[in-house]
Copies of this chain bind each other. A is one copy, B any other.
C-alpha cells in the first residue's frame, strides 16, 4: 500500500488547468509574433531587451537582463545572426562576441512587435483580469521570483 497521490484530485485539476492555460496563452502569443512580425518568442525577448538597453550589451549582461543562462543566449544569437536584426561586434579572428546591439531594421521590428505584442497581451489576458486577480497574480509572481534563484550561471557564487 503506497500513497500515490500527494495532492488531492482537486489540487491536481487546479494545477493542470493552470499549466494548460499558461501554455495556450504562450503558444497563441508566439503564433501572433510569427505571423505578424516573422519573429519567434525567443527572438522577441532578445530584441526587446536590447531595445530597452542604453547601448550595446555584452552577452553576460544580456543573459542577466533576460534571466537566461549564457549558453542559451549564445545559441540564440547564433541563430539570429543571419537575420540582420542585430549588430554584433566580435573580437579579431575568433567567433567570440564582444557586444550585441540592434541594427536599424532590428529596432524597427522591435518597436512594431512591442506595440502589437502588448495589444495581444491586453486582449488575451489583461482585459479579462479583475483587480483582485491582478493583485493575486502579482504577489504570487513576486514571491516566486524571490523564492527561486535566477538562472545560475557557472561563475555565480553559490
A141 within 8 A of B: yes
Selecting from A84-92, A94-102, A114-122, the interface stretch reads A114-122
Residues of B within 8 A of A144 (CB): 21, 24-25, 125, 128
- B148 with A18: CB separation less than 8 A: no
Selecting from A9-17, A32-40, A75-83, the interface stretch reads A9-17
- A133 with B136: CB separation less than 8 A: yes
- A132 with B122: CB separation less than 8 A: no
Task: Give Cα distance in the complex from A124 to B135, angstroms.
Answer: 19
8 A Cβ contacts from A37-82 to B = 67
A104 within 8 A of B: no
A positions within 8 Å CB-CB of B: 2-7, 11-12, 14-15, 17-26, 28, 67, 111, 114-116, 118-119, 121-122, 124-126, 128-130, 132-145, 147-148, 150
22 pairs from A and B in contact (CB 8 Å cutoff): A2-B111, A2-B115, A6-B116, A7-B126, A11-B121, A14-B134, A15-B125, A17-B145, A18-B137, A18-B138, A21-B140, A24-B148, A124-B147, A125-B144, A128-B140, A129-B140, A130-B136, A133-B136, A133-B140, A135-B136, A136-B137, A137-B137
